[in-house]
Amino acid sequence: MTETPTAAATDDRIRCDACPVMCYIRPGMAGACDRYANDNGTLVRVDPHVLIERTIAEGGALVAFAAGSEAWNGSLTRDAGTFVTAIGAGTTYPDYKPAPFIVSSEIEGIDMVTVVTEGIFSYCGIKLKIDTDRHLGPEQATVRVEGEPVGHVTTIEYGSQMMSLGGVHHLTGGGKKEGRVTCDALMALCNKQAVELTVDGSATVVVQAGRPPIVNGVREERMRVGCGSATIGMFARQWLGLADEVVVVDDHITGVLSEHQAGRYLGIPETGIKIKGRRSTPGRYFKVAEPGTGWGGTNLTDPLAILGPFDAKVARRGETMLMVSTTGEHAAHFVLDGDLKPVETDMPAPLVAVVERIKENCEPALCTVMFMAGAGGSLRAGVTENPIRLTRSVKDALTRVTCGGAPVYVWPGGGITFMVDVTRIPDGAFGYVPTPALVAPIEFTLSRADYAALGGHVAEVRPISELRANAGRRLLHDDGRNPWPLKRSVS
């Protein structure tokens, strides 16, 4: 447990000033956030403070952390090999205080400083990328957890549905339950736990970082290889001679082989097929059906519903047709009878092989959870007495921003608005305060000379070697997924 610097005593209770709630905490009890507790009259941070050690084994391989490994002995012998994260470090609230830890390390002959703090973020949210070809809901539809609005559906990207969750309006602008549920959902997702989301008038989906989505109770296996037109382009040559016609059913662009430029290039003759939809360019059709969870992200259970009568002047009896979805999950083989109507038949083995090839080229469906937040003035005040200088230093690439040691993307424009993949962050890194707001780690690393130049709290800098080994710290070994935060240049 990490001691916190400020606490006011009232009888046997301690008043915690780590956030605006200002809890009075009795001995042996924790505050409303479960992050701070009264330990016999001392206010302590319940969770351990996390440090990451970069261990180089013989041959230069990184040694991964594994549960049950030998306990850390508290040694901090290699300055450049240990990075102090903000996980478990504590906050700067009530804002005028310097960051909980401002540590110096010598890296490649340069004296560097890392400033760490757990930011209290009301202005934060999650950007979700859900790999699925199924329709989860129209854009702007409300996304709910436990019946409370927590976000909305945004754009559909190539094989993925995007959502935006959280934000200050859901955290603090709605009812008390809405704020609590939003905060709980954000924290669970950021801590890599599963959360069930319901889209108004549409699907229910279970999302978890790095895991496949579960849509309406069905676990998604793969994302589509491409739209219907792209699928035609990729596999046209492999269908040559195996079927007279191929239709790749897709909610966005349905492809027709004989009309498509790829089919024309290969000399595939016309088949007399008629597609019910809005023709875009040859072999490409929009709006063949409504969005849904059936064939190719449409509401179709019968693919023949998108076909009109075959042109009797062109079509012939015995003509073969493959209809397939963009994931290969749905596929059927048809032969035209004497009335030029398609009749389903067993699919020849060579065509089965190409359908399997489509599946093989579909990447595994996963959920990506990106935490996004704005590091505002109060947080920056823990780094420097002149916060604008920190912002400028970040924009000028003099200061590197990390989140629990993980690389972040800092958005252009004003402020320090960053985004990070939560799977790159150690487990249990996110907490909350019941205002409600999320608590997330953030670190700023720069040279000591640059830190002094931006008006940093130089008097608070202490060598990493002085960190006490018995102060409730937890050491993780760097697993090599992230660029090392203390490296002077990161590609």
The answer to whether residue 15 is domain-embedded is: no
The better pLDDT of the pair 174, 358 is held by 358
pLDDT above 90 for 187:
yes
Q: What is the pTM of this model?
A: 0.86
The answer to whether residue 29 is domain-embedded is: no
Is residue 150 within 8 A of residue 142, CB to CB? The reply is no
Cis peptide before 138 (omega within 30 of 0): no
Kindly calculate the radius of gyration of the chain based on its CA atoms and give it in whole angstroms.
Answer: 29
The pLDDT assigned to 491 comes to: 46
pLDDT above 50 for 160:
yes
Say how many CA atoms lie within 13 Å of 408 toward its Cβ. Answer: 29
The answer to whether residue 51 is domain-embedded is: yes
Band the pLDDT of 152: cuts 50, 70, 90.
very high
Q: Decide which of 198, 223, 248 is a domain's last residue.
A: 223
Structure confidence by residue, pLDDT tens digits, 275-288? 999 999 999 999 99
The pLDDT assigned to 66 comes to: 32
Structure confidence by residue, pLDDT tens digits, 86-127? 998 888 777 678 998 999 988 888 899 999 999 999 999 999
The answer to whether residue 490 is domain-embedded is: no
The answer to whether residue 355 is domain-embedded is: yes
Same domain, yes or no, for 176 and 262?
no
Same domain, yes or no, for 273 and 354?
yes
The pLDDT assigned to 55 comes to: 62
Among 78-82, 144-148, 150-154, 249-253, which stretch is predicted with the lowest mean pLDDT?
78-82
Band the pLDDT of 3: cuts 50, 70, 90.
very low
User: What average pLDDT does this structure show over 311-324?
Assistant: 97
Q: Which residues pair with 78 in a beta bridge?
A: none
The better pLDDT of the pair 333, 434 is held by 333
Distances from the Cα of 463 to the Cα of 23, 103, 126, angstroms: 33, 5, 35
Q: Which among 8-22, 320-334, 467-481 has the top mean pLDDT?
A: 320-334
User: What average pLDDT does this structure show over 53-66?
Assistant: 44
Cα–Cα dist 419/403, whole Å: 9
The pLDDT assigned to 477 comes to: 86
Same domain, yes or no, for 314 and 342?
yes
Q: Indicate the helix (H) or strand (E) that contains 381.
A: helix 377-381
User: What average pLDDT does this structure show over 79-91?
Assistant: 84
The pLDDT assigned to 73 comes to: 42
Rama region for 485: left / alpha / beta (φ>0; ψ in -120 to 50; rest): alpha
Say how many CA atoms lie within 13 Å of 90 toward its Cβ. Answer: 30
Same domain, yes or no, for 235 and 351?
yes
Q: Who's near 328: CB < 8 A, 6+ residues apart?
A: 225, 355, 356, 357, 358, 359, 362
Q: Indicate the helix (H) or strand (E) that contains 198.
A: strand 195-199
Q: Decide which of 223, 242, 260 is a domain's last residue.
A: 223
Same domain, yes or no, for 259 and 356?
yes
The domain in which residue 299 lies consists of 228-360
Band the pLDDT of 350: cuts 50, 70, 90.
very high
Same domain, yes or no, for 264 and 352?
yes
Same domain, yes or no, for 199 and 301?
no
Q: Decide which of 208, 223, 238 is a domain's last residue.
A: 223
Cα–Cα dist 27/44, whole Å: 11
Band the pLDDT of 65: cuts 50, 70, 90.
very low
Same domain, yes or no, for 241 and 207?
no
The per-residue pLDDT of the chain, averaged, comes to 89
The pLDDT assigned to 58 comes to: 34
The pLDDT assigned to 301 comes to: 96
Same domain, yes or no, for 142 and 242?
no
Four-point Cα dihedral 369, 437, 419, 486, nearest 10:
-110
The answer to whether residue 180 is domain-embedded is: yes
User: What average pLDDT does this structure show over 24-37?
Assistant: 87
Band the pLDDT of 47: cuts 50, 70, 90.
confident
User: What average pLDDT does this structure show over 443-456?
Assistant: 95
Q: Indicate the helix (H) or strand (E) that contains 141.
A: none
Residue 465 tokens read as 């070697």
Band the pLDDT of 369: cuts 50, 70, 90.
very high
Is residue 445 within 8 A of residue 112, CB to CB? The reply is yes
Helix segments in 407-466, DSSP class H:
448-453
pLDDT above 80 for 8:
no
Same domain, yes or no, for 356 and 239?
yes
Encode burial over 288-308: b for 16+ CB neighbours within 10 A, e otherwise. Answer: bbebbbbbbbbebeebeebbe
Count of domains forming the chain:
3
User: What average pLDDT does this structure show over 210-227?
Assistant: 95
Residue 415 tokens read as 């402020």
pLDDT above 90 for 348:
yes
Q: How many CB atoms lie within 10 A of CB 247?
A: 30
Contacts by 335-344, CB closer than 8 A, 24 or more apart: 336/310, 340/272, 340/309, 340/310, 340/312, 340/315, 340/316, 341/310, 342/304, 342/307
% of the chain at pLDDT higher than 70: 91
Q: Who's near 204: CB < 8 A, 6+ residues apart?
A: 196, 197, 198, 215, 216, 217
The answer to whether residue 277 is domain-embedded is: yes
Q: Is 88 helix (H, G, I), strand (E, B) or coil?
A: coil
Residue (of 147, 189, 188, 142) closest to 163 by Cα position: 142
pLDDT above 60 for 490:
no
The better pLDDT of the pair 92, 263 is held by 263
Same domain, yes or no, for 233 and 218?
no
Q: Indicate the helix (H) or strand (E) that contains 390.
A: helix 387-395
Q: Which among 25-29, 87-91, 139-143 has the top mean pLDDT?
A: 139-143
Cα–Cα dist 24/15, whole Å: 4
The answer to whether residue 384 is domain-embedded is: yes
Cα–Cα dist 21/23, whole Å: 6
Helices and strands, counts by H and E, the chain = 8, 34
Cα–Cα dist 401/420, whole Å: 11
Residue (of 55, 75, 74, 73) closest to 65 by Cα position: 55
Is residue 142 within 8 A of residue 149, CB to CB? The reply is yes
Same domain, yes or no, for 69 and 100?
yes
pLDDT above 60 for 81:
yes
The better pLDDT of the pair 394, 45 is held by 394
User: What average pLDDT does this structure show over 377-385?
Assistant: 86
% of the chain at pLDDT higher than 90: 70
Q: Which residues pair with 2 in a beta bridge?
A: 45
